[in-house]
Amino acid sequence: MDVRNAERVGKLRSVIGVIRGREEPDKMVILGNHLDAWSSGAVDPSSGTAALLETARAFGEALKQGHRPRRTVIFAVWDGEEPLLGGSTQWAMDNAEALRKGAVTYINVDSGVQGGQFTGGATPALAEFLRDVTKSVSDPVTGKLLYDA
């Protein structure tokens, strides 16, 4: 095998969209995903990109109807995720003070859909919430609660 890698310094181009909150604008809910893929691009990251864009579209429609979220919502599509989380890491470093003071949660929609069975993960603080949500959502395949399916 003959491997020839070319190391170079390049620009990362992350895309950030912000909807400023009406009551707690300094508190941030961040939804993120990445642009680049090494393999399985339809799953990681493209299904997450589709979910993130649809969520942003729905928020935009709500804004048109006069609804503004309580807290600031940040939609982030990171560049350079595959090589060491480059885009998100740099953004977090650039915004460290604001994040320390006001970040409420980060929702990673990296791989929004894959296969026919639901899998989910959460930090321990949100695990029970995730379980509760699956008890109120129907599985589109079986019609049972997602928790039971």
Which residues are known to be catalytic?
A: 81
**CB neighbours of residue 95 within 10 Å:** 16
CA angle 103, 104, 109 (to 5 degrees): 95
CA angle 125, 133, 85 (to 5 degrees): 55
CB 71 within 8 A of CB 50: no
| Strand 71-78, strand 15-19: pairing | antiparallel
Among 98, 95, 52, smallest CA distance to 75 is for 52
